[in-house]
Amino acid sequence: MKNTRAIFIVMATVVSLFILAACENSSEETSAISDNQLNNNNSSEKEKDDSSNAEAIENASTTGNTDTKEKEGASNHSSSKEEVPATSTIEASLKEEYVKKLESTKKETEEMEAADSSTYALKKVENDRWQAWDDLLNEIYRTLNDQLPPKEMDQLREEQRKWIKNRDDRALEASLKYEGGTQEHLEYVTVLANLTEERCVELVEDYIK
């Protein structure tokens, strides 16, 4: 009986030791598995971090290159703008401007035609011709008044007064050949127009710069 109890106790002890050993092995294996999983997770997270960092660096590099290209493009565009000279408009000189006005008025007056062959119609044409040249003469005179030095303008003013008197005297003298006739006034206006045209050309050639 005592031997049976002793054997039972020994077997129980052995079984307990076996179970304990098995538990320890299981615990170690579980610990090892947990460590491996932790290492794997850390490795995975590290790889993700490395990948993210690499991607961030690549993006930053790409963005930097893009910005640099855009800046270089903008700089080149700006340079091209600066290098291409703006087309400068060469303004005609004042003399050239008035030479063109002389030509334009000449053409305008030459194209004037009488409605018929009556003296009245002819006088109207000559009156219109004189008016066109007289308007241009006044414009030229105003321009010279702004451009010429005071002393030179005073001389021109005196000269212009003499010219007006001479113009009227010549027109009157020419008209007297037809005194009392229908041609008298026509001749008067025709001479006024011709002399005024000549004066416009003279002022532009001699005074306009």
Res 123: pLDDT:
95
Q: What share of the chain is helix, strand, coil (3-state, %, to 5)?
A: 85, 0, 15
- Contact (CB, 8 A) for 184 and 178: yes
Q: Dihedral (C-alpha) 187, 192, 195, 200: value to the nearest 10 degrees?
A: -150
Res 13: pLDDT:
55
pLDDT along the chain (209 residues), means of 10: 51 51 44 43 44 42 43 43 39 86 97 94 97 98 95 97 98 96 95 98 94
Which phi and psi angles does 26 have, rounded to 5°? Answer: -60, -40
Nearest to 132 by CA among 155, 157, 105: 105
Res 136: pLDDT:
98
Helices and strands (DSSP H and E) totals, the chain: 5, 0
In the chain, domain spans: 1-88, 94-206
Res 209: pLDDT:
84
68 vs 110: CA distance, rounded Å: 68
Under DSSP, is residue 124 helix (H, G, I), strand (E, B) or coil?
Answer: helix
- Architecture per CATH, 94-206: Up-down Bundle (1.20)
Q: Which residue has the tokens 């790889």?
A: 47
